[in-house]
């Protein structure tokens, strides 16, 4: 399992702003992050699956 940071997530989905990413999380379009200590990470496979489902 590979985890990515917010910066890497932003790059992966076309340079979207942090506020846009969190809006997508709240609406259910992107998965919620996983917290390790004080840092947030996203499961890259879950992000890829979410992108595929949005793209159709």
Strands, sheet with 34-36, edge to edge from the N-terminal-most edge strand: 3-4, 39-43, 34-36
CA distance 52 to 19: 21
Handedness of CA 28, 35, 21, 14 (dihedral sign): negative
Q: What is the pLDDT of residue 54?
A: 84
DSSP code, position 1? -
Q: Does the pLDDT value for residue 56 go beyond 80?
A: no
Instruction: Give the mean pLDDT of the chain.
Output: 95
Query: What pLDDT does residue 35 have?
Result: 97
Question: What tens digit of pLDDT does each residue of 23-47 get?
Answer: 999 999 999 999 999 999 999 999 9
Q: Is the pTM of this model over 0.85?
A: yes
Per-residue pLDDT band at 1 (split at 50, 70, 90)? confident
């Amino acid at each position: 399992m590979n985890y990515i940071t917010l910066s890497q997530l932003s790059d992966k989905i076309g340079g979207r702003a942090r506020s846009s990413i969190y809006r997508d999380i709240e609406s259910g379009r992107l998965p919620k992050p996983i917290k390790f200590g004080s840092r947030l990470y996203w499961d890259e496979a879950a992000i890829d699956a979410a992108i595929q489902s949005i793209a159709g």
